[in-house]
């Protein structure tokens, strides 16, 4: 598609304010860097939004990428680093001096700075932290003391706080004079004498009230106080569930320590969804921008587990070599039962993993859902038993073999429904991510039972 | 876990402001409804947030659900409907009078009202629309005239607009007096003479400026104007990419027609991620709350396609019945190559589908990624060829069979890497969702090639 477009059209798109990075622009920058016209490349990149610059860096091959970072120098916005994929960021950071990285981190908002430091190698981390002015460093180190993926890591430290005994007028005057306030925010946090959050005031409500109105009159006290140690997945759940825009974060003693905004949650939701998708697909992490060797590593362990389970399934088949030798049709038909079980089980598993992630599948309805899925599997089993039984009977002109494969199909689809819900429930109960390894356990079960039921029944009949 | 907790602890959690719906509460409501103590049930439910009430309704069995809706009557908040799963909502709406539904819709914000109407059966839709006062109806009908899943359906019509020639003081005075403004919002839209958006003013910036300041001085003109016909997936991409909080929606002539806020986008991101996950897992839609018959239907079509492809793979095996009859080890080993190909291909496919969804995989880097994935597949193929070749040689005491399975493994994993990237790229190029059907096409390819390469090589050697 993009081949047919003119640079003019892309320019129009950009002016219209859509995605700032066109394929043409990537190509132009690439060519400029290749021909060592680095000034031209810088001119093309400078007007871009930091997020688009990050995308551009991700798409360039390694050599051009390093050349662009060098040419841009200090013109490379600090925010760009926040938008970079981990693998690409590591690659770029390697070539940058730690002192320069420290200045970059100082330019970022506190939550982004924490995010950046988290991704650095631990050897560099301390050196860079040491290069940061003390006041900021203490805040950063404090944030970093919270567990990974917790609310404490996610929050920004700067929040706009006011006491509850103020009026709207006092608040507006304070906001006009206080330079310490964060740049953009949506809610004012109302705090009590020990700095505990009492409520929030949406700015639109503040603006629509008269100056003498008391803050305590217009504040919203139905707030969710997020403990700094809460897992970001649970934080995201609260934001989604209650349509929150901003929420106060508190320490163990209930003191306000920061705030989390919905735009940070957008990234968390995105990350968590990506994780579930990748884990179900058997990929450890997003290795899209990884080099070949890293990608091989990220795929290897899963494939190794799969090899072992596949060999195990073959051993099961091996028990029935006499039956297969006698009736070769068994070898021809046996993958069908296993494949149908694997697919039906994956359907159930996918729905269950999703339901667990959004807290729809809980202790109260677990039994009901397991029952329902087993029933669905059983009924679909009967339908497909009739279908494949008919096909097999006609194909090999032998109703016995049709009956055998039909029975095996019912057994395997019934089990697929049961296993598809029970397998992810178990790790979730132990506090382990239900998406990890569920697929491999499930397909092992459906493969083994598929072969066992079909060949076992056949052995009883034919031997 | 929840069994060990006391109601007191759950109460504490609720006060702390976490998730409002405990397993205990669900049980209490359930028992109260079962014993026809409906007043008690209503007392338990009334303090809940609408989103929690929705979750509660989803978790109750059908009879109790209907009883609760009846007992609550007008105490059931309109917003509850917005949070309900489609299947449950349909079930509840069936028992409610269309006139009552019309009042419910009038209570909702315009974007939620559109969302609600969308999900109604078309026969009821017109009747309900007719029962809504004209002024609101015209706006709703206008929103509904935009394509499904477009920005026009997502936007709220109420936006806070001001002309660019105002000052901060005029704006604040206007906000205090105008009752037509939406309840909560984060940005003011600055519009020109023909109602075209010129920029936005974050409320925090308005508050921090002095009254005589000109709006045009503090407004942010680097805005993304979203066409009302843009697909919600693209809208979500823009919000995520540029960290937007609120964005103006324009019609073809560039006039401002509404606004989209980030909290609506949270649901879109969530929905799109769910869709990708479910489609890769072979489920048409989230059928978690569907009745058994609906779930069977939602799983059936995919399983039917899978049955056909499995039979096709069996036909391929059938070509080699002579080889299998001669060497039964072939039947025992053959699922291994197919299974490894399926898994390696799924890994690649998952990463590619995700990269397409977040616009990381584009025309510029497609060729490079296809090459990389094929290379990764090939190298992993060699590693696993050595492993399985060794295992098979020892198992059947025959190095020939080890060599054959090793070669087949290389061929199939190489192809899995290639197919895993090419298969989702093709539908994306035609404008079709790359997640749909990709898995079934991929596993058909890896199954067929797995059997064909292994049995074909074996037939050449052994026959």
Please report the DSSP string for B113-169 in residue order: HHHHHHHS-HHHHHHHHHTS-HHHHHHHHHHHTSPTTBHHHHSBS---EEETT-BHH
Q: Do B372 and B378 form a contact (C-beta atoms < 8 A)? A: no
Do B258 and B302 have their domain in common?
Answer: no
**B340 to A310: CB separation less than 8 angstroms, yes or no:** yes
User: Which chain A residue shows the shortest CA-CA distance from B358?
Assistant: A270
pLDDT digits (tens, 9 = 90+) for B127-169: 888 888 888 888 888 888 999 889 999 998 877 889 999 999 9
Strand order of the β-sheet with B256-261 is: B226-227, B246-250, B256-261
**In this structure, are residues A30 and A64 in contact, taking their beta carbons and an 8 Å threshold?**
yes
Contacts of A359 in chain B (CB under 8 A): 19, 55
DSSP string for A194-220:
TS-EEEEEEHHHHHTS-TTSBHHHH-B
In B, minimum Cα distance to A320 occurs at: B332
Q: Point out the residue among B26, B364, B443 whose CB comes nearest to the CB of A59.
A: B364
pLDDT surpasses 90 at B193: yes
Question: What is the number of domains present in chain A?
Answer: 3
Report the percentage of chain A scoring pLDDT > 70.
96
The stretches of B183-328 forming alpha helices (DSSP H) are: 203-207, 215-218, 232-242, 262-280, 292-318, 321-326
What CATH number has the domain bearing residue A210?
A: 3.10.580.10
Sorting pLDDT into bands at 50, 70 and 90, what band is A215? very high
**Do residues A437 and A398 both lie within one domain?**
yes
**Testing the interface with A: which of B281, B388, B425 to mutate, by most A Cβ within 10 A?**
B281
Q: No. of H helices and E strands in chain A?
A: 23, 6
Phi, psi of B60 (to 5 degrees): -80, 145
Give the separation between CA A72 and CA B273, rounded to whole angstroms: 35
Residues A194 and A268 in one domain: yes
Pick from A49, A61, A332: which is nearest to B321 by CB? A332
Note down the domain range covering A56: 2-154
Mean pLDDT of the residues in chain A: 88
Decide which of B131, B154, B177 is a domain's last residue. Answer: B154
Size of interface A-B (CB pairs under 8 A): 364
User: B274 contacts in A (CB within 8 Å)?
Assistant: 273, 354
Quick one: average pLDDT of B294-320? 93
**Closest chain B residue to A261, measured at CA:** B245
Question: Residue B384 has what pLDDT?
Answer: 97
Q: What is the CATH number of the domain that holds B367?
A: 1.10.357.20
Q: How confident is the model at residue A385 (pLDDT cuts 50, 70, 90)?
A: very high
DSSP single-letter state for residue A156: B
Q: How many CB atoms lie within 10 A of CB A116?
A: 21
- Looking at the domain assignment, is residue A285 inside a domain? no
User: Residue B40 falls within a domain, yes or no?
Assistant: yes
The reply to whether B357 and B383 lie within a common domain is: yes
Please report whether residue B286 resides in a domain: no
Q: What value of ipTM does the predicted structure carry?
A: 0.83
What is the C-alpha separation between A422 and A410, in angstroms, rounded? 18
CB atoms A185 and B172 under 8 Å = no
A245, A278, A318: residue with CB nearest B332: A318
Q: Same domain for A110 and A173?
A: no
Calculate mean pLDDT across residues B212-230: 91
Q: Return the residue of B nearest to A299 by Cα.
A: B347
Residue A286 in domain: no
Which of A347, A364, A388 minimises the CB distance to B281? A347
Instruction: Check: CB of residue B316 under 8 Å from CB of residue B451.
Output: yes
Q: For chain B, how big is the Rg over CA atoms in Å?
A: 29
Q: Is residue A32 part of a domain?
A: yes
A368 and A311 within one domain: yes
- Which of B154, B184, B218 is at the close of a domain? B154
Residues B433, B297 within the same domain: yes
pLDDT in tens, B226-242: 999 999 988 998 998 88
- Written as six digits, the tokens of A429 are 């109960």
Beta carbons of A343 and B429 less than 8 Å apart: no
Q: Kindly state whether residues B121 and B228 are assigned to the same domain.
A: no
Residues 6+ apart with CB under 8 A from B375: A292, B417
The first and second tokens of residue B19, run together, are 């998730």
* Residue B18 pLDDT grade (very low, low, confident, very high; cuts 50, 70, 90): low
pLDDT digits (tens, 9 = 90+) for A138-168: 888 888 899 988 999 999 887 788 999 999 9
Question: Closest to A335 (Cβ–Cβ): which among B225, B269, B313?
Answer: B313
Most confident of A84-88, B191-195, B363-367: B191-195
Instruction: Work out the number of other CB atoms within 10 angstroms of the CB of residue A83.
Output: 22
Q: pTM for the complete prediction? A: 0.83
Q: In this structure, what CATH number is given to the domain that contains residue A125? A: 1.25.60.10
Question: Is B59 in contact with A447 (Cβ distance < 8 A)?
Answer: no
For residue A244, the SS3 value is coil
Strands (E), A166-316: 187-191, 197-202, 226-227, 246-250, 256-261
Residues B228 and B276 both lie in one domain = yes
- A175 and A119 belong to one structural domain: no
Contact A107, A78 (CB under 8 A): yes
Across the interface, whether the CB atoms of A23 and B282 are under 8 A apart is answered no
Q: What confidence score (pLDDT) does residue B136 get?
A: 85
């Amino acid at each position: 598609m993009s081949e047919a477009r003119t640079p003019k059209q892309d320019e129009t798109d950009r002016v219209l304010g859509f995605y700032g990075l066109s394929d043409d622009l990537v190509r132009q920058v690439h060519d400029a860097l290749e021909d060592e016209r680095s000034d031209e490349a810088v001119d093309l990149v400078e007007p871009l939004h930091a997020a688009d610059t990050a995308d551009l860096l991700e798409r360039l091959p390694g050599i051009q990428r390093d050349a662009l970072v060098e040419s841009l120098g200090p013109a490379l916005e600090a925010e760009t680093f926040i938008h970079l994929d981990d693998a690409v960021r590591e690659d770029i950071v390697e070539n940058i001096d730690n002192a320069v990285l420290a200045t970059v981190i100082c330019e970022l908002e506190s939550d982004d700075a924490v995010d950046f430091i988290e991704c650095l190698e631990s050897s560099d981390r301390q050196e860079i932290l040491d290069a940061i002015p003390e006041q900021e460093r203490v805040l950063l180190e404090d944030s970093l003391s919270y567990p990974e993926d917790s609310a404490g890591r996610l929050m920004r430290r700067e929040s706009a706080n006011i006491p509850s005994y103020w009026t709207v007028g006092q608040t507006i005057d304070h906001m006009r004079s206080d330079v310490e306030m964060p740049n953009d925010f949506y809610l004012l946090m109302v705090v009590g004498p020990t700095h505990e959050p009492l409520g929030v005031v949406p700015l639109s409500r503040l603006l629509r009230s008269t100056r003498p109105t008391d803050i305590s009159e217009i504040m919203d006290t139905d707030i969710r106080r997020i403990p700094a140690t809460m897992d970001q997945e649970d934080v995201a759940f609260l934001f989604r569930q209650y349509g929150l825009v901003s929420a106060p974060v508190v320490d163990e003693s209930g003191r306000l320590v920061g705030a989390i905004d919905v735009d940070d949650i957008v990234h968390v939701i995105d990350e968590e969804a990506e994780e579930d998708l990748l884990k179900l697909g058997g990929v450890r992490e997003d290795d899209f921008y990884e080099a070949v060797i890293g990608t091989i590593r990220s795929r290897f362990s899963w494939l190794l587990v799969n090899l072992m389970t596949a060999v195990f399934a073959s051993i099961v088949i091996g028990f029935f070599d006499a039956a297969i030798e006698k009736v070769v049709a068994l070898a021809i038909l046996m993958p069908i039962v296993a494949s149908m079980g694997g697919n039906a089980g994956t359907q159930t598993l996918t729905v269950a993993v999703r339901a667990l992630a959004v807290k729809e599948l809980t202790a109260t309805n677990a039994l009901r859902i397991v029952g329902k899925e087993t029933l669905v599997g059983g009924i679909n089993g009967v339908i497909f038993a009739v279908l494949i039984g008919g096909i097999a009977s006609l194909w090999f002109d032998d109703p016995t073999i049709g009956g055998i494969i039909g029975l095996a199909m019912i057994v395997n689809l019934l089990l697929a429904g049961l296993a598809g819900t029970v397998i992810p429930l178990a790790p979730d109960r132990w506090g382990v991510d239900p998406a990890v390894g569920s697929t491999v356990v499930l397909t092992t079960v459906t493969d083994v039972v598929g072969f066992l039921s079909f060949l076992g029944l056949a052995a009883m009949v034919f031997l």
